[in-house]
Amino acid sequence: MNVSQQIFTNEDQKKPQKSGSVRTARLKMAQRIVMMVLGAAMMSVALEIFLVPNELIDGGITGISIMLSHIFNIPLGILLTLLNLPFLVIGYKQIGKTFALSTLFAVILMSIGTQLLHPVKPITVEPLLAAVFGGVILGVGVGLVVRYGGSLDGTEIVAILIAKKLPFSVGEVVMFFNFFILSVAGFVFGWNNAMFSLIAYYIAFKMIDVTLEGLDQSKSVWIISDKFRDIGEALTERLGRGVTYLDGEGGFSGENKKVIFVVITRLEEAKLKSIVEDWDSDAFVAIGNIHDVKGGRFKKKSIH
């Protein structure tokens, strides 16, 4: 926000909505900073307390930095910053200023954290335990930073740009990079450690998803049935969820169909299937994951 945007006239100061919106923006910014600090701190702990002392690596620039630090005896924090800088410049030009600055902020915090924690003794010297717990902490840390608008690894930026020019998804490009990096780790740290590193990487990958989507993951449901009205009313009464009726047309029959659309939580999926089964065992039901739900009337109604 520019300085000029922070200057209000006397009339503006009298408007409660203006001050309320400014207060809300400041609270969101404070929350974003706190969560990114927490995420960077967690990744520092995962690296210096679990992975690095046991010669395990993560994927991406972090994995490359760990190997170079081991080979050339250069502090990990310095390598994390230096190797990520070129990608941050690319991200600034191609993706956006906010993303690049948020990523730079998180990377610097992570680099400082690894430097401060380097003298601390590891909690465990058992590679499997280090891989599991390091992967969990690392995944949650990265997930928090990504959730609040940043990144902790420059390879993601490269993957986004490559995916625009080649017939590969971002995930496939990242997987190729990490497969190569983990393979090189086998020559640097030994193949046992490379396999333990793969375990840590997989756990971190899953924990990033959990952090981004939340434990109470939302699901979108489409139901096609001739008894749509009965099913819709049952879902509202027994689940407390509002439903929407959409107009559809059968691709083969050409008949008009009503489609029920409803958003539920992961824990309500079994009950929804049971309700549909009670009314129409032949109903078509499609269920998909949703990363975020905002607005509307998703909040659950009380069931008496």
Number of domains in the chain: 2
pLDDT for the residue 130: 95
Determine, yes or no, domain membership for 296: no
Does residue 163 sit in the same domain as residue 223?
A: no
The DSSP letter of residue 254 is -
pLDDT for the residue 184: 92
Q: How far apart are CA 245 and CA 179, in angstroms?
A: 46
Determine, yes or no, domain membership for 267: yes
277-285: Cβ within 8 A, 24+ apart: 278/234, 279/225, 279/227, 279/230, 279/231, 279/234, 280/225, 280/226, 280/227, 280/231, 282/225, 283/223, 283/224, 283/225, 283/227, 283/231, 284/222, 284/223, 284/224, 284/225, 285/221, 285/222, 285/223
Determine, yes or no, domain membership for 129: yes
- By residue range, what is the domain housing residue 235? 218-290
pLDDT for the residue 293: 67
Determine, yes or no, domain membership for 278: yes
Determine, yes or no, domain membership for 295: no
Does residue 15 sit in the same domain as residue 49?
A: yes
Q: Which residues are paired to 249 by β-bridges?
A: 256
Given 196, 213, 230, the domain boundary residue is 213
Determine, yes or no, domain membership for 299: no
Does residue 142 sit in the same domain as residue 268?
A: no
Does residue 205 sit in the same domain as residue 222?
A: no
Give the CATH number, domain containing residue 271. Answer: 3.30.70.120
Q: How far apart are CA 184 and CA 198, in angstroms?
A: 12
pLDDT for the residue 59: 85
- Please list the pLDDT of the chain residue by residue as tens digits (304 residues): 333 333 334 444 444 445 567 788 788 888 889 999 999 999 999 999 999 999 999 888 999 999 999 999 999 999 999 998 888 888 777 767 788 888 889 999 999 999 999 999 999 999 999 999 999 999 999 888 888 878 888 777 777 777 777 777 666 777 788 889 989 999 999 999 999 999 999 998 888 877 876 655 678 999 999 899 999 999 998 888 888 899 887 777 778 888 999 988 777 888 899 899 989 988 999 998 876 666 665 555 545 4
Q: How far apart are CA 55 and CA 78, in angstroms?
A: 18
Given 179, 213, 247, the domain boundary residue is 213
Determine, yes or no, domain membership for 301: no
Does residue 98 sit in the same domain as residue 83?
A: yes
Determine, yes or no, domain membership for 123: yes
Give the DSSP per-residue string, 261-274.
EEEEEGGGHHHHHH
Does residue 94 sit in the same domain as residue 130?
A: yes
Does residue 84 sit in the same domain as residue 204?
A: yes
Does residue 203 sit in the same domain as residue 136?
A: yes
pLDDT for the residue 43: 93
Does residue 135 sit in the same domain as residue 226?
A: no
pTM for the full predicted model:
0.70
Neighbouring CB atoms inside 10 A of 259's CB total 16
Q: Name the packing angle between helices 16-45 and 127-147 (round to 10°).
A: 160
Q: How far apart are CA 304 and CA 301, in angstroms?
A: 10
Given 170, 187, 213, the domain boundary residue is 213
pLDDT for the residue 66: 93
Distances in Å between the alpha carbon of 106 and those of 69, 126, 136, 179, 260?
20, 29, 19, 25, 43
pLDDT for the residue 252: 75
Does residue 192 sit in the same domain as residue 77?
A: yes
Does residue 7 sit in the same domain as residue 90?
A: yes
Specify whether the CB–CB gap between 241 and 262 falls below 8 A: yes
Does residue 188 sit in the same domain as residue 247?
A: no
Residue 247's H or E segment, with its range, is strand 244-249
